[in-house]
Chains A and B, each alone.
Chain A
C-alpha cells in the first residue's frame, strides 16, 4: 500500500498542505484527550482479594427479590435477603430463618410464625412482622410487576389482590398478632409452604429504602439487608461483591467474609478462568463447555449430581402459525432429543418427553409425545403446510451462549430436514431475552425451569393463565382448574392423579411447550480448597456455608 502512494505522489501533491496539517493536529489532540479519559475512568480497581470467587452465569437481570426469575440471580439474592425460613445447605429443606419456630394448624392451611427477636437489618434496626407483611404485599401489588407473584397465591385472597379484585390488604390471609408473631391463612393445605417461605420472592426487604428510592433502591449505600451478607458493590459485567453482615443473627456460622460473583456467558472463557485459578467455583449449567465433558468428567473437581430442572421450548400460541395445535405437536415430535443429549449437552442429561422431572417422591410424571417424524409430517399437511409449503420463516429466540446456539443449530437442521421449515436464530443477552419472552415477542423460545421446591407444583402452576412465568400466551381454564383442585386435595394419591391429568394437557394435548431434556447438575470446585457445597435436588448451595480450606496455587490443574 505504501508504494502505491509513491506512485500517485505527484498527482496528490495538489492537496493543500495546510488541510493535512490541521487534520493531523486535530487527530493528535483527540487521541490525547481520549487516552486521558481512559485512564482516569478506571481508578477504582478492586484491590481486596475475595475469599471465594464464583462464576455465576449471565449478568444479573436485577437483585430485587421481587423481580428476579433466574437461578443465578437467586443465588446472590439468597445471601442478601432472608425469608421466614431458609434452605439447609445440605439437602435444601427449609430450616428456621428469620422465624425461629412455627406452628402448623388445620391440616396445614394455617401457619403461625414466631420471629426471632434478635434479627436486625445490617444497619441495626430490628426486623419485625411489619417488615414481613410489607415485603409480601409489595410482591402482590400489581404495580411491582413481580412475575413470581404466583408463589404467594396460596395465601387466602392473594390472587384476587394481585389481579385487582380486592383492594383492601386487610382481607388477605396475612395477620399480625404482635410485633413478632405472624398468622398466615392459606387457601387450603399447602405442604410446601415452608419451602416457599425460603424462596427469594418471599424474602424480607427494607421498606424505608424502597419508599425513598423506588426502582433504584438496590443501589442505596449502605443498603439494609436481612440476610447473612451486605452488598459491597455491583459493577455491571465485572462482578457482584458481597461482604459478611456482622449483625446477622447467625453471623457466627457464616464461613467467609468476602464473596465475588463473576458474570460470564462464554463457557470456554469461564472454564479457562477456573483452570487458571482465577475462580474457585463454576456452578452454572450454562457455562460448562459441553464439548469437553468427556475429559472434564474424569477430573476430581468435577461434581455431577441429579437435580430438578428441565430444558424446553416455548411456543408463542398467540402468533401464527403456532396458534395451531397441530403445528405445535409436529414441531415437538421431530426433535431428536436423544441426539441432543448425546452429542451436544453431554453431561449426563436425560431426554424429556414430559415437563416435570422424575425423582419427586410424591409424583410420577406421565409420558409425553414421542419422536415421530412420520406423524409430524401428516400433522403439518393437515394444518395446511404439506412439506413445509407456505410455512413462514420462524424465529427461535435464545440467550447468548455457545451451548444454546448449538442446540439452536440442531433444531434448525431437524425442523428443516423433517418438516421443510426454515428457522432463524435470534440471540439476545439474558435481560433482553427475558424481556422479549415476557412481552411474547418471539415465535419459538429456548426456555429452562429449575424447581423452586421439591413438589410438582413448582413446575405445573407456572402455566396457569395468569402466572407471570407462563410467557406462552396459552390460557386454559381446565388446566387452571385442575391445578387448583390438585392443590386443594389432601390425599397424595388423588392429588398425583389430578396433577398428572393437568400435565397430560400441557405436554400431549395442547402442547404450548416442547420439553427437550432434564438437566444434570455439574459443579466445578477443587475439593482440597473449597468445602461446604453439598448436592441436592434444587442445585442450591447457600453461600454462607461455603468455606475455603486452603489457598493452594500449585494444584490448579
Chain B
C-alpha cells in the first residue's frame, strides 16, 4: 500500500493495517482466540446432552476417576490418562481455564493499579511524582516471587476463614485462586506504572494539551480526554506481555505446590505431576509433554501477539 492511500487513516486504523500484515501475530491471535473459546466451552462438553453430539474423547470430566490408568495417548484419550485414570486432554483444558483466568485477571489488576498510578504521577509532576516513583523503585528492588510466596503462606488461612464466614462455605476453597489474582497482580504493575508515567510526561507538554489547558479544561478532563486515549496503544502492548509473565508465575507457584489445590489443576501443577514421573525406569511422557507444550505454545503466542501490537503501534514504524 502506498503512502498516499493510507495518509487519511487515523493512527489506530494505520496500526490495525500494519498488524494484519504481521503473519506470526495474526496466527497467534487466532490460536489464542480458539484456545480461550475451547477453554470457556470445555465444562459444557461433559454435560450429557452436549456430549451426545461430540466425539467421545472430548467429553471426559476432569475429576472423574476411572479404571483406565496411565493409558498412553490413543483414539480414546488423545492426551492419555493419569494415575487416577482421569483424561489428560480434559485436565489440560481445565488447567487452561485456571492459567488463562489467573493471567487475565492478574493482568487486569496490574493494569488498573499501574495506569492509575502512572497517570497520576505523570500529570501531577514535581514532588508528588518523585515520591510516587521512588516508591515504585523500592518495590522493584524486592524479589517479587518471594514476596508473593510470603503473602501466600502468611495470609492464606486468614483469608480462608474470612471467606468462610463472610460468604457461603464453598468460597473458602477459592482462597488460593483469589490470592493468585491479587498477589500476582500486585507485583506486576510496576513496569506498567513507569511506562504510563513516561508517556504522560511527554504528552502533557504537547501543543494540543497546552491548548485545552488554555481553554480552561481541568486536570482530570485533560487526563481522561486527551492523554489516556493517546497512551492506550502502548498500554495494550504491555498488557499482552504481562499476561504470559503472570501465567508463568502462576505455573511456578503451582509447581511448588502453593497455588491451585487438587483436584483442580493448572498447567503448572500438571507439569509438576508429569515431572514427578521422570525416572530411569519408565517415563509416562504424555503427562509432561502435553501440558508443557500447551504452556510453551500459549506463552509464545502471547509474546508474538504483544510484539505484533507493539510494532503496529510504534509511531516510528514504517508506514
Binding site for B on A (CB under 8 A): 1, 3-4, 7-8, 10-12, 14-15, 19, 23, 26-27, 266, 268, 271-272, 275-276, 289, 291-292, 295-296, 339, 343-344, 392-393, 402, 405-406, 408-410, 412-414, 416-417, 422, 424-425, 427, 557
Contact = CB atoms under 8 A, between A and B. Distances in A.
A10 B84 contact: no
Interface string B235-266: 00110010000000000000001000111000
A155 to B, nearest CB: 42
Contact of B278 (A7, A268, A296): A268
Contacts of B46: none
10 contacts: A3-B310, A12-B195, A15-B133, A27-B141, A268-B276, A272-B279, A275-B279, A343-B84, A406-B84, A413-B65
B279 A268 contact: yes
Nearest to A427: B257
Instruction: In the A-B complex, list the 10 residue pairs whose CB atoms are closest, starting with the nearest.
Output: A11-B198, A11-B202, A12-B198, A413-B65, A393-B169, A409-B262, A295-B281, A343-B69, A392-B169, A268-B276
B281 A7 contact: no
Given A23-B137, A291-B83, A424 B202 contact: no
Nearest to A414: B65
B260 to A, nearest CB: 11
Contacts of A392: 169
Nearest to A12: B198
How would you classify the secondary structure of chain A's contact residues: helix, strand, loop or mixed? helix
Contacts of B70: 291
A416 B63 contact: yes
A425 B262 CA distance: 7
B85 interface: yes
B202 A10 contact: yes
Interface of B: 63-65, 67, 69-70, 83-85, 133-134, 137, 141, 169-170, 172-173, 194-195, 198-199, 201-202, 234, 237-238, 241, 257, 261-263, 276-282, 284, 310, 314, 316
B141 A23 contact: yes
A344 B173 CA distance: 26
Given A14-B201, A409-B263, A422-B170, A292 B85 contact: no
A425 B264 CA distance: 11
A547 B190 CA distance: 61
B252 to A, nearest CB: 18
Contacts, number: 96
Contacts of B85: 343
Given A393-B170, A425-B261, A427-B257, 14 more contacts: A7-B316, A8-B198, A8-B199, A10-B202, A11-B198, A11-B201, A12-B198, A268-B277, A343-B69, A409-B65, A409-B263, A413-B263, A422-B173, A424-B173
Nearest to A275: B280
Contacts of A289: 279
A393 B169 CA distance: 7
A12 B314 contact: no
A405 B82 CA distance: 14
Contacts of B169: 392-393
Contact of B83 (A10, A406, A425): A406
B198 A393 contact: no
A7 B314 contact: yes
B202 to A, nearest CB: 4
B170 A412 contact: no
B136 to A, nearest CB: 11
A483 to B, nearest CB: 38
